[in-house]
Amino acid sequence: MHHYVSLPPADRVWHSQSFNVGTAGAKIFSGPAAEEFGYSVQQATNHEGKWLLVSAPWSGFSRNRKGDVYKCPVSGSRNSCDKLNLQDSVSIPNVKNAIDNMCLGLTLTRMPADGLMMCGPLWGQKCGTQDFYPGICAKLNPLFRPQPAFSPAVQTCGGPMDIVIVLDGSNSIYPWEPMTAFLQKLIPALDIGPQNTQVSVIQYAVNPKFEFKLNKYKTKDEMVAAASSITQMYGHSTNTFHAIQYARLWGFNQNNGARSGAAKVMVVVTDGESHDEAFRDTVIADCEKQGITRFGIAVLGYYIRNNINTENLIKEIKSIASLPTEKYFFNVSEEAVLSTIAGTLGNRIFNIEGTGKGGDNFKMEMSQVGFSAHYSSQQDVLMLGAVGAYAWSGTVVHQKGSIVDILPFSAFEGTLQDRNHSSLLGYSVTTLSDGHTEYFVAGAPRSNHSGQVIVYTFNAQKQSAIIDSERGKQIGSYFGSVLCSLDVNRDGVTDLLLVGAPMFMSELKREEGRVHLFSVTKGILNEQGFLEGPSSTENARFGMAISAVPDLDLDGYNDVVVGAPLEDKGKGVIYIYNGEKETLKKQFSQRILGSKLDPQLQYFGRSLDSYKDLNDDTVPDISIGAYGKVVQLWSRGVASVTAKASFNPNKINIFNKPCNINGRKLTCFTANLCLGAAFRPKNPVGPIDISYTLTLDADLQASRVTSRGLFTQNNERFLTEKAKISSASLCRDYQVYVQEAPDFVNSLSLKVEIEQQNADVNPVLDVFSPKITLITYDFYPSSQLDNTHTVNAPLIPPVLVSANNRELSFEVVVKNKKENAYNTQVLATFSSNLYYSSVFPPETDGVKCTSTQTQTVTCQVGYPALKTGQEVSMKFQINFDYNFNELENKAEVTFEAKRESNINFYVADAATPVVTAVKTLDDIGPEFNFTVKVSTSNFPVNLLYLTIALPLTTKGGNPLLYVTNVDTQGGSISCDSSGLVDPLKINGKSYKQSFSEENLRGIEKLDCKSAKCNYMKCILKDTEIKSAYFVKVKTRIWSGTFLSVVLTVSKPGEKGDVPVGVIAGSIIAGLLLLALAVGLLWKVRVCLHVSVLS
């Protein structure tokens, strides 16, 4: 029976730089970088061809930032794009459009029936002198021309407004010039005009009078000139309430220019308490009935100059102002600073003028609708993020047809707990589905400074209801700024929500970025960790863009591509992650560097789209935005290559030796190897060019030191060949001969390793299919063996020793009474006054004797196996001499028969990469961990001794290794590690280690000869057959020992000693110690010695 084992490919995938997104033949389009060309990209098709639509939201820079969209042809050789010139075609009728900085194309999203939509969230609308930013969006027809634009939050500007300013001109006002200066600053801030705002000024002391009426001046310039020429009337009384009543009756009178339906605003400016306060309640009540909004301004200069208490004055002016008082009451310390409140007063009036209502809390005026967008096909609803709504708390707008639903502040208020009105809810939006109910998701990356994601739906009353929310775990990470929902297994149910936190800081204070995974159950999010991406040593902003790919590798599961535009020193990198069942593999299958495509690329991965197949090979292709460029990569077909083998004969018979190899009769067999491939898609990809390596007597992780089998083709255990593999199997025969070896019990294996010859061609080898296949081939009749073997070696008497005959002869008979005994040996040991001469066995019995040690002879009997019932005899010839130094004249000879226990010994994981760096003397250095593995074969062993030698210090006394832990995983193995593990108790207290200068030049390896070793002894008891036993040792490398080295570097025409810092830590068991010098590499190895005794 042949057994097949395949090596899981996950460890290799982690380091994969190439899979089925090809980099050869990449098409790169260029555009104006200053216009932010490449900020967003979308794949599109129409009857004219296939295109990339690329946004440039700063198009027009530096004159303006109107924004625009470009179309780039995918087919053909042209790599330039055409500007669509859309910015002047996007407007809302019957409002004053402000498009100079609308950033059209900041959002570019897909719509039904392969449609597209673009948004300019900074589109402005003028209301009077004020600019709102409600945002604008427009769909594009198949020819990429804009449809009628829409703005769900467009404002209804306030109607006409009549303003009457009542000025105190009494004697206490001094100086007068600040009063006119106040008017000259306030009037220009108003939208003066017959259809907009009219202003009248009334001055009073004892009696009021018009300075000019509402319909007197039609322009700002005329009005400002008139205001600047007003002179103070003077008077000993301040009849404020008579002046207010006069303004109510005559200032807002239609005969004096007042307009029916116009908002009425009165501004009262005075510096003293009135002399007619008795009329206050009546006058103010009349103003309320007439709907006059009142601002009260108290000038405190006269009171302060004369040391008069201002309490009563302030109380009176507050009674004049509308409610709430804090919005309509002002006070200034003196006349000279009166003009400083003109701007604030203008803003307060703006709320009335622009919205027709009082107050200064913005709702949708600055909402920037369209900052993000997502279309839900399940409910035919367009989601639009509005980050500026409700004073930057943000909200989401739902639009279905002509029906617009702007979610109120109260919908998210309790969940956001937005104390500073800056959550930016709506920064990103998407939907989730359980197959029946659709859930809406909005990101708020500044919520509570750490970011938040909110899931909500609508109840039967069509009111929003919060289902779940998740907060980020790090301040400033921008958690929730990017959202991507993923149906992995393509069953119509959302399996995962990916949440980007592109500004997540690593421990090294770099913006590494992070992408969190959440599984979804009825709208409830359950965190499943995060994707493994860039190194934490540099800025990357991993997760700045995330895009779902519809089954990139054609395995039936949807996949994901993630951008890290700041990685590789700002060049940018993208990562591919593949779906699996209902989740996503957290290790990337492919990492593509923008610098490898074009050294001039910057911010590669800032935007992504991967929705369509653009070259008609049924595989979706990936489009990537960069700074001023867009890159189109072509995906390729996938091939999975499998290896199978059969053997003739079906088992190895070591007693049958039909082959003549180099004059020797040896056992041999034929291996028939068959290679086949499965392709995705089935047509038209294939065949695939591969190379494969065959290795004999190896397992998946290691191989025997000496192979029991060799290929007759090259007399080696390795054989590498090339082949072109199609869906039909390709079979080849290989003859193998079996060498004489002590182990004919354990199966002989054939390992097949497959690699692609050229990774840039189509199709590409599937990284998730096994690349290594192990096929085992049994010896006959190993399956029938048990563990009982009895041998009989009687010594034939008599033995005569005399001075005349200086030779001793012994006849040893070995008989196997039960099953075949493999690797049977006879050991003869004798005293020092005897000398081994020779042995005379029959050649047919397969006896081979060697004497490698003094006073010991080892003979293999019946090699390779002593068969059942077989008897072998041998005659030992031993010379002797009389040794008068011996106390007794005697000779000792001992014979022992034994068989092989088949203990296999390995050092596993002996070279864990050094990945940390030394920071302080308290930190010993990087970790170095290794595992010693002892595996038994078909025979148990009662007692086994294992000794591990650890080079802990150099010859000069500098420390090399510091043991931190020894783990035997319990069971039948125990080790004496006393005095070895953490002898300095560094885990519990600080310790300082001194280092002395020592020259390690010329030392190729640090072992027990070149360093000082400590020994750890382990005992294995009662081992089981075909079992593995492990000793795991954790150590740290003392980096200080390798802190520096002086190297001589030769340059043309000069010589000199150059001190060079060395990367901390020698490389143990094969790792390299790198000296950072030109053209020079210094190698030092520290060797672990392990001995085993059975």
pLDDT tens digit sequence for 861-897: 877 777 778 888 888 777 766 554 444 455 667 777 6
Q: Are residues 910 and 873 in the same domain?
A: no
Domain end (from 299, 327, 355): 355
Say whether pLDDT at 708 is over 60: yes
Phi, psi dihedrals of residue 179, rounded to the nearest 5°? -70, -45
Mean pLDDT (whole number) for 903-910: 48
Say whether pLDDT at 951 is over 80: yes
- Tens-digit pLDDT profile for residues 392-435: 999 999 999 889 999 999 999 999 987 766 899 999 999 999 99
Comparing 31-45, 333-347, 623-637, the range with the smallest average pLDDT is: 333-347
Say whether pLDDT at 651 is over 70: yes
Q: Are residues 848 and 704 in the same domain?
A: no
Domain end (from 635, 663, 691): 635
Give the chain's mean pLDDT: 84
Domain annotation covers residue 992? no
Non-local (6+) Cβ contacts of 889 within 8 A are: 882
CA distance 248 to 776: 106
Mean pLDDT (whole number) for 106-117: 92
Comparing 294-298, 446-450, 686-690, 778-782, the range with the smallest average pLDDT is: 778-782
Domain annotation covers residue 7? no
Domain annotation covers residue 993? no
Say which CATH number the domain at 51 has: 2.130.10.130
Comparing 623-632, 968-977, 1063-1072, the range with the smallest average pLDDT is: 1063-1072
- Nearest CA-CA partner of 1050 in 1074, 1073, 1076, 1080: 1080
- Tens-digit pLDDT profile for residues 1057-1094: 333 222 223 223 222 222 222 222 233 334 444 544 43
This prediction has a pTM of: 0.69
Place of tokens 């006054």: 833
Query: What percentage of the chain carries pLDDT values higher than 70?
Result: 84
Mean pLDDT (whole number) for 36-44: 98
- Nearest CA-CA partner of 121 in 366, 362, 423, 369: 369
DSSP symbol at 867:
-
Q: Are residues 214 and 351 in the same domain?
A: yes
Mean pLDDT (whole number) for 988-1008: 72
CA distance 712 to 709: 9
Say whether pLDDT at 351 is over 60: yes
Domain end (from 635, 653, 672): 635
Q: Are residues 687 and 756 in the same domain?
A: yes
* Burial (CB count <10 Å: 0-12, 13-18, 19+), residue 852: exposed
Buried b (16+ CB within 10 A) or exposed e, 361-389: ebbbbbbbbbbbbbbbeeeebbbbbbbbb
Mean pLDDT (whole number) for 731-758: 90
Say which CATH number the domain at 1058 has: 2.60.40.1530
Mean pLDDT (whole number) for 633-650: 94
The Cα-based distances of 630 to 626, 979, 1093 in angstroms read 6, 62, 66
H/E stretch holding 899: none
- Nearest CA-CA partner of 562 in 620, 618, 499, 608: 608
Query: What is the per-residue pLDDT for 941?
Result: 77
Written as one string, the DSSP assignment of 295-341 is EEEEE-HHHHHTT---HHHHHHHHHHSPSSHHHHEEEESSGGGGGGG
Domain annotation covers residue 880? yes
Query: What percentage of the chain carries pLDDT values higher than 90?
Result: 56
Say which CATH number the domain at 817 has: 2.60.40.1170
Q: How confident is the model at residue 6 (pLDDT cuts 50, 70, 90)?
A: low
Buried b (16+ CB within 10 A) or exposed e, 983-1006: eeebeeeeeeeebeeeebeebebb
Say whether pLDDT at 18 is over 80: no
Q: How confident is the model at residue 921 (pLDDT cuts 50, 70, 90)?
A: very low
Mean pLDDT (whole number) for 24-33: 96
Q: Are residues 131 and 270 in the same domain?
A: no
* Residue 1074, both tokens: 């790198």
Mean pLDDT (whole number) for 829-848: 72
> Which residues sit opposite 44 in a β-bridge?
51
Q: Are residues 407 and 544 in the same domain?
A: yes
The whole domain housing 328 covers: 161-355
Say whether pLDDT at 1014 is over 80: yes
Query: What is the per-residue pLDDT for 882?
Result: 52
Q: Are residues 371 and 436 in the same domain?
A: yes
Residue type, 1081: L
Domain annotation covers residue 600? yes
Give the 3-state DSSP-derived string for 380-422, with helices as H, strands as E and coil as C. Answer: CEEEEEECCHHHHCEEEEEEECCEEEECCHHHHHHHHCCCCCC
- In a 3-state reduction of DSSP, which class is residue 87? helix
- Tens-digit pLDDT profile for residues 516-555: 999 999 999 999 999 999 988 899 999 999 999 999 999 9
* Residue 188, both tokens: 């220009």
Say whether pLDDT at 10 is over 70: no
Q: How confident is the model at residue 131 (pLDDT cuts 50, 70, 90)?
A: confident
Q: Domain tally for the chain? A: 5
Alpha carbon 666 to its chain centroid, in Å, reads 56
Phi, psi dihedrals of residue 540, rounded to the nearest 5°? -140, -35
Domain annotation covers residue 6? no
Comparing 8-22, 349-363, 587-601, 1018-1032, the range with the smallest average pLDDT is: 349-363
Q: Are residues 547 and 564 in the same domain?
A: yes
Q: Are residues 513 and 625 in the same domain?
A: yes
Say which CATH number the domain at 198 has: 3.40.50.410
Q: Are residues 601 and 588 in the same domain?
A: yes
Q: Are residues 228 and 332 in the same domain?
A: yes
Q: Are residues 521 and 501 in the same domain?
A: yes
Say whether pLDDT at 332 is over 70: yes
Domain annotation covers residue 250? yes
CB 689 within 8 A of CB 724: yes
- In a 3-state reduction of DSSP, which class is residue 801? coil
Say which CATH number the domain at 722 has: 2.60.40.1460
Domain annotation covers residue 13? no
